[in-house]
Amino acid sequence: MVPGFTEDQTMSEVIKEAWAIQAESMNQWVFACLMAAGMDPVDAKLVARSLVQTSLWGIDSHGVARVPHYLKRIQAGSIDPKPQIQVHRTGPCTAQVDGGHGHGIVICHRAMEEAIAMAKENGLGAVGVGNSSHCGAIGLYGRQAASQGLVALALTHSDAFVAPYGGRAKFLGTNPICLAVPSSNALEPICVDMATSAVSWNRVENARRENQPLEKGWALDQHGSPTTDPHAVGCLLPLAAYKGYALAFLIDLFCGPLNAMPYGPRIPAMYGDYAQQRRLGSFMMALDPKRFAGGATLASTAVAMAAEARRQPPAFDGAEILVPGDPEYRCEKIRRRSGIPIEPGQWKEIREWSQRMKVEAPTKVNNNEARPMEI
């Protein structure tokens, strides 16, 4: 248990005050920091937009909170701010991308762009990625393809944080998966984007930063005992026991060995030596639904199916049925109005990095509607 908090305290009880930064102000700050770090303006714009979008979706583990991490890695030399990204077509529907150790968000967008181009030309595009770095929320890339009317699969892996099912020491990454299907509303595809661990590691990082407890069932300590203290975590648990473990194992093979990159415990640590290149891989796939019998009506059927699911009887009074993607689109509507919530430790980091990079800090406003969705 974290000192100062009871085990049953919820996030809203722990956070007494809510502060927020409007999306545009945050976007300008992230862009300015990345430019000061030496990134190409087009790439800095893409990364800033992607991180702000991720935060607008409510994914506080993988949005603007990670800016200090990326800046540290650029400064230490393991992320090349102006990488030579090479795209090699290996067949009509396949390509291999060498990311040149650039920013993972830039590399994965480029890889999905290639998958989209092949899917439009030949029905299917599958792209392996190597020599990359942390690429943020994998849902960015699934939605990139779905917004162009394509069905998408996006995978990436991380260094070892998660125990294999039945184990008590970390072996696999939090290896996330995204599956996306276009809907008639191009801005809101049906999209699942999640880690295959009980929780993503960056939520633990945020909890450490704010000194807040974790939920039960997420982690074990160094001795293999359950813990809610973020500072005592030895490893995370897989999502849904052996099912998450099995998915993570296969995702690692798709992202690491398939792209001649390392797997699990052999991947350089995200929070380890900042000068060491990560050598991460990813896998991006897009396919044209019109090549399949139901393709012409898929987008409208997806919307109808979602509406039908939401009308199903709730399990208990007050329960609400959602479909994948709903929480993110709802959160975005609120945060576009009220801003992106900023926690005290995060605000301290923003001020410190503004000074270090010699950029103006964004404007912080008090706004209770903008409470964090998660740690």
Interface with ligand NAD (CB under 6 A): 59, 61-62, 134-139, 156, 158, 174, 176, 191-195, 199-200, 322-325, 327-328
E strand or H helix at 122, and its extent?
Answer: helix 104-122
Chain residue whose CB lies nearest ligand NAD? 137
Pick 131 or 200: Cβ nearer ligand NAD? 200
Closest CB 322 distance from ligand NAD, rounded Å: 4
Closest CB 82 distance from ligand NAD, rounded Å: 22
Pick 118 or 143: Cβ nearer ligand NAD? 143
Report which of 164, 148, 123, 352 is spatially closest to residue 252, judged by C-alpha positions: 164
| Secondary structure (3-state) at 367 | coil
The strands making up 94-98's β-sheet, listed across from edge to edge, are 86-91, 94-98, 124-132, 280-287, 151-156, 177-181, 190-194
The residues with which 193 forms a beta bridge, in sequence order, are 178
Report which of 244, 168, 161, 169 is spatially closest to residue 204, judged by C-alpha positions: 161
Report which of 86, 91, 155 is spatially closest to residue 121, judged by C-alpha positions: 91
Asked whether 170 and 235 are in contact (CB, 8 A), the reply is yes
Pick 146 or 195: Cβ nearer ligand NAD? 195
Closest CB 54 distance from ligand NAD, rounded Å: 7
Structure tokens, 51: 């991180």
Closest CB 369 distance from ligand NAD, rounded Å: 20
* Single-letter amino acid code for the residue at 38: G
Pick 88 or 310: Cβ nearer ligand NAD? 310
Closest CB 290 distance from ligand NAD, rounded Å: 25
Closest CB 256 distance from ligand NAD, rounded Å: 12
Give the rounded distance of the alpha carbon of 154 from its chain centre: 11
Q: What is the DSSP letter of 299?
A: H
Closest CB 154 distance from ligand NAD, rounded Å: 8
Pick 275 or 322: Cβ nearer ligand NAD? 322
The residues with which 194 forms a beta bridge, in sequence order, are 177
The contacts of residue 363 (CB under 8 Å, 6+ apart) are 21, 22, 25
Pick 216 or 348: Cβ nearer ligand NAD? 216
Structure tokens, 298: 């898929």
Pick 295 or 327: Cβ nearer ligand NAD? 327
Closest CB 363 distance from ligand NAD, rounded Å: 27
Rounded Cα gap, residues 218 and 163, in angstroms: 11
Pick 244 or 362: Cβ nearer ligand NAD? 244
Asked whether 42 and 240 are in contact (CB, 8 A), the reply is no
The strands making up 219-221's β-sheet, listed across from edge to edge, are 226-227, 219-221, 233-236
Closest CB 332 distance from ligand NAD, rounded Å: 12
Pick 144 or 200: Cβ nearer ligand NAD? 200
The contacts of residue 279 (CB under 8 Å, 6+ apart) are 130, 131, 261, 262, 267, 268
| Secondary structure (3-state) at 238 | strand
Closest CB 205 distance from ligand NAD, rounded Å: 11
Pick 93 or 278: Cβ nearer ligand NAD? 278
The contacts of residue 56 (CB under 8 Å, 6+ apart) are 23, 63, 331, 332, 335, 336, 340
